[in-house]
Structure 1
């Protein structure tokens, strides 16, 4: 596997850091979760649970090992430093200053292991006036200006159902940063510090709305943008059976096909109509969509290229032929739970694909093994 020789010490908890190291572990990296013996990763305690640990923990921590160390004790610090000597990467998600107070910050670790890559995933990054402030996904979306654009025109901002900043703004940039640093190390022979800010990551996602403001200095408004539901060609409509269907007919050819299929060719010239006209179009299209059930509309559009899709729930998504073909829901074997379903690997490599090899570790399951390897057993 592409990362088979890479050892990662993972001090992160909850979602952003563990998602990052999960992806790396899926492609062969040896990821060692360094956890406190009393509680470990907070995600273990969440509900619902599969055994003693939560479903979330099982999903995020497959293919990993768990070692318990008390990093506040002299013995725990010494053990960790010995592990750092043989590590390629350290990933942590504490607020800036925490690792320094522990005496385990990058400046200390790089003297011990100059090849070490140290990745810190935080809300606001290592610099700036907010660096040491607490925060969560919602806060980073708020500061980045994204939350202000989410929701219907005239309504309040809508909280997304998944964590955009944690995963898109934090975990994925962290994976990229670590891989870039590993690639650079092949040339220089030394590691470096990877500073990931979830707020930075969210701002970098605003490619379809922020550049217009930067050029024209016009504040965008909620529900009036190209891709936020303000236009009739890119919206969600309710069907006769109280289900929903999404329309993404942005390009003229798709819009033409959509309008022809609903027998309203008079809508075709109105693709780029002003906002007030878009509202009228949406109302009229909604009236039309209300006359058939979701299944009936899907049958009507089955052979039409108009970017029309059903809004699925999880049960329907799992049985969707595209999801099944891509193996994005997999059944894996668990030692005590038997067959367990897990989210699949989203990155497909033709020669060295990622895979789910082992279940999430029990708290401290690999402590003795790792201490034995490091010569730390008393």
Structure 2
């Protein structure tokens, strides 16, 4: 597998760091979770449970190993430093300064292992006036200006259902940064620090509208972005059975097909009309789509290329034939826990694909075996 010679020491917990190391583990890295002895990763305590640990914990920590160390003690610090000598990557998600106070910061670890890639995932990065502030996803996307653009016109900002800054702004840039540093190490033999700020990442998630502000210094209002509520051709509509359809007829050829199907050819030329016209078109389209069920409309649009699709529940999504064909829900059979379903990685490699090799470890499951080798 691509990373089967890479050892990762993961000190992070909850979502961004474990998601990052999950990606690395899926592609063969030996990921050792370093957990404090009494509680371990806080995510273990969430509900619902699979065995003793939460479903979320199992999903994020599959194929990993777990050891328990109290990094506030000199004895366990020494054990950790011994592991660092033979490792390639360290991931941590403490606030800046915590690892330095423990005597385990990048500069210290780099002296022990000059080839080490050290990745710190934090809310605001290693420097700047907010560096030591606490925060969560809603704070990071709030500072980024992203949350301000979510929601209906004249309404409150709408918190997204998934954690954009944690995953898209934290976990994925961290995984990419680690791989870039490992790639560069092949040329120089030297590791480096990977500084990941979830606020930075959230700012980078706005390429379709933020550059417009940088060019004009004019900010669109909430609900007035083309792809976030303004356009009638890119919206969600309710159907007769109280289901919803997503319409993504953004290009003229798709919009033309859509308008012809619903009998509104006069809308074709208005695809980029002003917002007041868009609002009126949405109102009329909604009245039409309420006349049939979601299933009826999908039968009508089945052979029409108009970018119309149903909005699925999780029950429907996991049984969708395309999701099944792409193998996005994988099963592993654990001898103690039985069959566990996992979300597969979205990264598909043709020759060396990802593989889920086992369930998440119990707290400290591998402490003895790991240190017997050292």
Which residue in the other structure is 2:194 paired with?
194
Give the Å deviation of 1:171: 0.2
Q: In the TM superposition, what whole-angstrom CA distance separates every residue of 1:48-87 from its partner, at most 9, and x where no partner exists?
A: 1111100000000001000101100011000000000000
Which residue in the other structure is 1:93 paired with?
93
Alpha-carbon distance between aligned partners in 2 of 1:175 and 1:345, rounded to the nearest angstrom: 13
Q: In the TM superposition, what whole-angstrom CA distance separates every residue of 1:81-111 from its partner, at most 9, and x where no partner exists?
A: 0000000000000000000000000000000
Alpha-carbon distance between aligned partners in 2 of 1:78 and 1:39, rounded to the nearest angstrom: 21
Which residue in the other structure is 2:240 paired with?
240
Give the Å deviation of 1:246: 0.3
For the residue of structure 2 that corresponds to 1:111, the secondary structure is helix
Which residue in the other structure is 2:315 paired with?
315
Which residue in the other structure is 1:254 paired with?
254
Q: Are residues 1:209 and 2:212 paired?
A: no
Which residue in the other structure is 2:281 paired with?
281
Alpha-carbon distance between aligned partners in 1 of 2:183 and 2:330, rounded to the nearest angstrom: 31
Which residue in the other structure is 1:135 paired with?
135
Q: Are residues 1:124 and 2:128 paired?
A: no
Which residue in the other structure is 2:329 paired with?
329
Which residue in the other structure is 1:153 paired with?
153
For the residue of structure 1 that corresponds to 2:370, the secondary structure is helix
Give the Å deviation of 1:221: 0.8
Q: Are residues 1:73 and 2:73 paired?
A: yes
Alpha-carbon distance between aligned partners in 2 of 1:124 and 1:141, rounded to the nearest angstrom: 11
Which residue in the other structure is 2:112 paired with?
112
Alpha-carbon distance between aligned partners in 2 of 1:337 and 1:35, rounded to the nearest angstrom: 22
Which residue in the other structure is 2:39 paired with?
39
Residue segments in structure 2 that go unaligned for 5+ positions in a row: none
Q: Are residues 1:57 and 2:57 paired?
A: yes
Question: Normalising to structure 2: TM-score of the pair?
Answer: 0.99
Give the Å deviation of 1:288: 0.4
Map 1:7-18 to 2 at 5 A: 7-18=7-18
Alpha-carbon distance between aligned partners in 1 of 2:204 and 2:312, rounded to the nearest angstrom: 29
Runs of 4+ in 1 over 4 A off after TM superposition: none
For the residue of structure 1 that corresponds to 2:229, the secondary structure is coil
Which residue in the other structure is 1:366 paired with?
366
For the residue of structure 2 that corresponds to 1:133, the secondary structure is coil
RMSD (Å), alpha carbons = 0.5
Alpha-carbon distance between aligned partners in 1 of 2:345 and 2:47, rounded to the nearest angstrom: 24
Give the Å deviation of 1:331: 1.5
Alpha-carbon distance between aligned partners in 2 of 1:146 and 1:241, rounded to the nearest angstrom: 33
Give the Å deviation of 1:350: 0.2
Question: Normalising to structure 1: TM-score of the pair?
Answer: 0.98
Alpha-carbon distance between aligned partners in 2 of 1:144 and 1:345, rounded to the nearest angstrom: 27
